[in-house]
Chains A and B, each alone.
Chain A
Amino acid sequence: MNGAKVEKKALKLGYMPLSDCLPLLVAQQQGFFEQQGLKVELQQEVSWSNIRDKVIVGHLDGAHMLAPMILASSIGLGGLKKSLITAFSMGLNGNALTVSNSLHRELFELNTTEFDQASTMKQLIEQRKAQKLPALVFATVYPYSCHNLQLRDWLASADIDPDKDIDIVILPPSQMVDHLKLQHIDGFFAGAPWNSVAILQGHGHCLITGMEIWQNAPEKVLGVTLEWAEKNPECHHAVIRALYQACAWLEQHAEQALPLLQSHLSLNSPLIDQECLIPAITGEYIFDNNQEKSKAPGTLVFNRSMANFPWLSHGQLICSQMKRWHWLPPSIDSDELVANCYRPDIYRQALASQPLSDEILPENNFLQDHLATL
């Protein structure tokens, strides 16, 4: 299509083996990258840190990235300082809190109707303190992640101090279920499909989904360095168009994508089968070991509700939450940081000539609803 124009044909894009990497897999399998004149190699990575470092040093042209990571790296939090940007959101939602069977039982015994409320968790934590029991341990996937922010937000809604009243540890998503099973942790807040895996294998219960904490929450984005974007604008546009097409395709054919997803996710995780992938992709409820209906652990939104637009308000939401936990130095101007990292202008340029561009491009770069949770 626009093959002759791209500055660089052969691209290497990184991803973590999670359900929300699907837009990349689909764009490759359905030939959407190729139609844009790109020859893309997808590279599976083992850690978010690797994704960030490889993008920063240029071993990857771009990657499936945690939205808060873009902001954190741009000011040098947690690693090398390098301006990263995103002009494409790979989708919304997908996260959930799954707790061990024993914690679930304790919460249920404390309050049968509101066992899934943060207030019941608070009550249990106070009770455990009085009994001099060790603090509960919750795992999440990366310090600068929406997972961590959503978990902390939920805990804080019942006056639980996530830095003092519980322990938060970081584990790779693929290790969550094993650690839960071995009772190293009492719960985890992770993305699809790991909540479903824990539930279906009978090691835990989904207590609350990310959607219940932040409605249509930002999650993964396409991350590139500012330097790369400035050097390869047409190429960046082409990637965005291919991914947009993949997300729109997924909205219609989610079920068809299950075997593709399974083949990539099961490469390094024997726990993955197609059944555990279904809930996040199709929204179908699953049943736990006692044949009781479980919460759908966070259905992914790939394209509808303007899910792919890099809303400045999503950046603002993440920034304000990072400020809340004193992760951002007070000298940082949030508006400026968001404006540097979130680039709706690039998204608009990439998709301006698409059919129905009126419908896929919002009027404003900001949506007040995103900040309603604050």
Chain B
Amino acid sequence: MNKIRLFLGSDFIYRFRQDRAAQGSFTLFVLFVLFAFAAPLISPFDPYDRLQIDLMDSELPPLWQGENADARFLLGTDAQGRDMLSTILYGTRISLIIGFCAVGLQIFLGVSIGLISGYVGGRIDSFFMRLADIQLSLSTLMIAIIASAVFKASFGSEIYGDMAILVLVLVIGIAEWPQYARTVRASVLAERSKEYVDAARVIGLPRWRIMFRHVLPNTLSPILVISTVQIANAIISEAALSFLGLGMPVNKPSLGSLISSGFEFIFSGSWWITVIPSLVLVVLILSINLLGDWLRDVLNPRLYKD
């Protein structure tokens, strides 16, 4: 209880209360997360259940588009007759899961590697940093395309469909670890020369304990800040891959594959299949990025303006 009261009284909360953009984007983001994860409970249809899909309902416009609209489908239906609202909710859920998990993997890999590189230094440092340089010189999308293409080719689309989420998490997670490794390494180098590290060594603490208990917590704020950007990036990467047909399969669409599936109908008048999920994606990414901007300002005292 005490901790909660302390947290509520902190500068962090104070600054949050002062900032409309932060409140707005936070609310939006929380709403997205809530709706996405409550999708099975709140969505009117189950887009994964083939029995609920009727091809006769395909390409119905959203409710406000008049004439052909069907009261059952608030946002209309896609080319296969799935309810857009339900599909978007489920799709957002998949996008968020992939975003969070991929960033989790990036943090795990990047932070451990960055910490070890920065603290141990020497050859290990050079090795990992050159590896990071090499990886950064290939674009994320390129690595992701190669990896998912290879996976698809070697296991077939059937298995791929079942494992798509896992594969995307692995691919996006592994492709972006250097971001974290570099940031963490840079802060570790700065922290390592501080006296409290010497003091910890003088106390006789083991090396791993100094690394994880003393140095790591002092590098958390940059990690937190890039995490917001990275989550947004991971969601975008997933959407891009899905759009290119290398991501989520059509029967389990993420936002990206939804956008892509409606793309061929955009000129035949069924714009909603592409535009509505695109809007959702844009607003989601925007809210995460705004939140990240705010977080960066708050966690970096040198940027305090007022």
Partners in one complex: no
Q: Which residues of B contact A (CB under 8 A)?
A: none
Q: Which residues of A contact B (CB under 8 A)?
A: none
